Chain A
């Protein structure tokens, strides 16, 4: 399973765009990249998933370069409620594989 590396923490202000980068140098061909958000004492919440290039949904964008050795989660115009821990996971979807290993995550603090 590919190991991920993320910054331990990041600070931002309301209204700013936040980009959190995750490194996964040994990502395998079949691996997808998934990001989760977790508030204290709650279960992780699925944010976005991608395989290559760019994926966008109503809450975030995910940028994946051609070599797929890293990915960047982009949160547009963050608010105080986006203060949370963000986890990047890499795993193989399908077949008999697919166990997700959570890395240490990035604690995002949004200030007024």
Chain B
């Protein structure tokens, strides 16, 4: 298995909702990442997990809460989002932190 999967593919939520994005990989990678990508812009790093511990938080607002329950799974919990948080959310993984990253297909999020 050489892919990163993300669910759901699309998500529409209101500003008062709580939702979660899920990312899974079965390549034995020990580093996992969340990126945010707005239309026609490059991906921006949000969080980095290394060996299931949060090692980087790029000053992301607390309404985004990452979680790494095990080495294969990465979640991003969303609460009280704003319309400007609408974007493509990408998950990636790598053998270890700093090595080549492999990306999932992303979750397209729309906040109303």
Contacts and interface: CB of A to CB of B under 8 A. Distances in A.
Interface residues of B, number: 22
By size class, the interface of chain A is 20 to 34
B106 interface: yes
Interface string A84-110: 000100011111111111111100000
Interface centre among B43, B90, B91, B106 (most CB of A within 10 A): B43
Contacts of A45: 103
B43 A42 contact: no
A99 B48 contact: yes
Interface string B66-101: 000000000000000000000010111000011111
Q: Is the interface of B mostly helix, strand, loop or mixed?
A: strand
Contact of B98 (A87, A93, A102, A103): A93
B97 A98 contact: yes
A102 B103 CA distance: 13
B64 interface: no
B101 A42 contact: no
